[in-house]
């Protein structure tokens, strides 16, 4: 039987040295923004009951979840999403807390991607949830927080902004099954024009069908709203457009319009989105590095109805981009190797403690001799070796001593 004790499961990977450092830096940048804007951290279990992510309400396909059972035979999953567990947490442990609740998290999620398609199954996410409040102010807070968080990690990105209610209003009256509506949603999201037309050609021509054909092309700046107004759609479809336009104008007043692209064909996969939806992209990544939106009906499924909005950033993707941009240039290798001669080990350890209290990165030599310590320092690129002896501390560079 083949053993898999020297490899990682598909869709996962090991992180070494600088990878870990740049990941920590990305997490720190994001969490610094969240804390400064008044969000408080929560952590949910990596294992949850399958019922928390019931596909009927989560929009997460059952086949993408990693499943296992507990000792009672109850079905569990590795957490595939952070928003739903936080909704559960809010409806139970935080039910009596004053609203709005401002929560943030940094934790891994697990998704089984068939064929992988270049995607990881284990992803570190960091995001916020603003619970118990609706309206422009809350939507602006989520969007501005997302922009500030990404700006803390990189300089070049764009945020695509749409509204889930626009697509729903258009497709609501068409005589289609839920499966076909989901296919249309997917083709619009992928901007797959031929596949979209193949379905729409089976329907009688109408304003709604015409609007669906144009939906993948309705992206750009403020001119998109004017194009949407020419579609001749009813009030249920135009109300989201007016809301989105006002929100865009507010962001423009904040000098943030250069970060925003309106995309009326932006329809997130999760069915629980009810209002604005947004995704952030950078040139170096094929998929969105941040995804979010408003989900006003989700908390009601847990017996505590309230409006809510949030987003999740892909820390792995951000860290990779930061590494490529040499954002992790600062070395965390030891600056000094401290070697204590025989009988002076305790003095050397105290010396190391003194250096670290001063903020100097150093290592205590666990090698037997000065020669071994110098050879090790040279291999590791440690520029200075301090020898602790009877009366003095001799300071030499590794290269000088070897010569």
For CA atoms 315, 318, 321, 322, the dihedral sign is negative
> Do 319 and 355 belong to one domain?
no
pLDDT value at residue 397? 59
The CA-based angle 205-197-174, given to 5 degrees, is 45
CA pair distance 137, 230, nearest whole angstrom: 29
* Number of domain units in the chain: 2
* Dihedral, CA of residue 165, residue 167, residue 172 and residue 176, to nearest 10: -150
Residues 285 and 178 in one domain: yes
CA distance 142 to 139: 5
Same domain, 318 and 348: no
Last residue of a domain, one of 292, 324, 356: 324
**Is there a single domain that holds both residue 215 and residue 306?**
yes
Could you give the CA distance from residue 299 to residue 273 in angstroms, rounded to a whole number? 12
| Whether 320 and 183 share a structural domain | yes
pLDDT at position 166 = 92
The residue out of 271, 294, 324 marking a domain boundary is 324
Residues 76 and 149 in one domain: yes
Q: Is the pLDDT of residue 371 over 60?
A: yes
Is residue 330, in this structure, part of any structural domain at all? no
The pLDDT assigned to 328 comes to 45
Q: Within this chain, do residues 380 and 301 fall inside the same structural domain, yes or no? A: no
Task: Say which CATH number the domain at 105 has.
Answer: 3.30.930.10
pLDDT tens-digit series, residues 214-227: 888 899 999 999 99
Let me know if residue 9 belongs to a domain. Answer: no
Mean of pLDDT over the chain? 89
| Confidence band of 271 (pLDDT split at 50, 70, 90) | low
Model pTM score: 0.87
- 34: burial class by Cβ within 10 Å (0-12, 13-18, 19+)? buried
Confidence of residue 330 (pLDDT cuts 50, 70, 90): low
Is residue 10 in a domain?
A: no
For residue 293, give its domain range: 18-324
Same structural domain for residues 355 and 226? no
232/305 same-domain check: yes
What is the CATH classification number for the domain harbouring 350? 3.40.50.800
- 71: in domain: yes
Domain contains 5: no
């Amino acid at each position: 039987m083949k053993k898999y004790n020297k490899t990682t499961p598909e869709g996962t990977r090991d992180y070494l040295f600088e990878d870990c450092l740049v990941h920590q830096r990305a997490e720190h940048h994001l969490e610094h923004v969240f804390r400064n804007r008044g969000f408080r951290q929560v952590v949910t279990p990596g294992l949850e009951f399958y019922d928390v992510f019931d596909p009927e309400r989560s929009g997460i396909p059952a086949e993408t979840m990693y499943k296992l059972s507990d000792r009672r035979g109850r079905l569990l999953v590795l957490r595939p999403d952070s928003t739903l567990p936080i909704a559960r947490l809010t409806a139970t442990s935080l039910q009596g807390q004053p609203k709005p609740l401002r929560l943030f998290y940094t934790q891994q999620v697990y998704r089984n991607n068939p064929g992988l398609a270049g995607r990881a199954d284990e992803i570190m996410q960091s995001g916020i949830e603003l619970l118990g409040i609706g309206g422009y102010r809350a939507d602006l807070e989520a969007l501005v927080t997302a922009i500030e968080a990404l700006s803390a990690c990189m300089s070049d990105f764009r945020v695509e902004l749409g509204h889930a209610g626009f697509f729903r209003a258009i497709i609501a009256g068409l005589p289609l099954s839920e499966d076909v509506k989901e296919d249309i949603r997917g083709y619009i999201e992928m901007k797959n024009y031929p596949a979209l037309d193949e379905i729409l050609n089976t329907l009688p021509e109408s304003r709604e069908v015409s609007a669906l054909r144009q939906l993948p092309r309705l992206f750009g700046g403020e001119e998109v709203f004017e194009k949407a107004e020419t579609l001749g759609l009813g009030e249920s479809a135009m109300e989201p457009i007016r809301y989105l336009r006002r929100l865009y104008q507010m962001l423009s007043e904040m000098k943030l319009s250069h970060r925003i692209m309106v995309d009326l064909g932006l329809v997130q996969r999760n069915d629980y989105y009810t209002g604005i939806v947004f995704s952030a992209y950078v040139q170096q990544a094929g998929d969105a590095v941040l995804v979010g939106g408003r989900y006003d009906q989700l908390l009601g499924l847990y017996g505590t109805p309230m409006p809510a909005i949030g987003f999740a950033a892909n820390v792995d993707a951000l860290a990779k981009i930061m590494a490529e941009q040499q954002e992790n240039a600062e070395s965390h290798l030891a600056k000094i190797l401290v070697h204590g001669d025989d009988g002076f080990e305790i003095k050397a350890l105290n010396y190391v403690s003194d250096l670290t209290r001063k903020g100097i990165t150093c290592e205590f030599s666990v090698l037997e001799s000065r020669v071994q310590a110098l050879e090790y320092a040279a291999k590791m690129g440690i520029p200075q070796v301090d020898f602790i002896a009877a009366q003095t501390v001799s300071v030499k560079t590794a290269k000088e001593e070897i010569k």
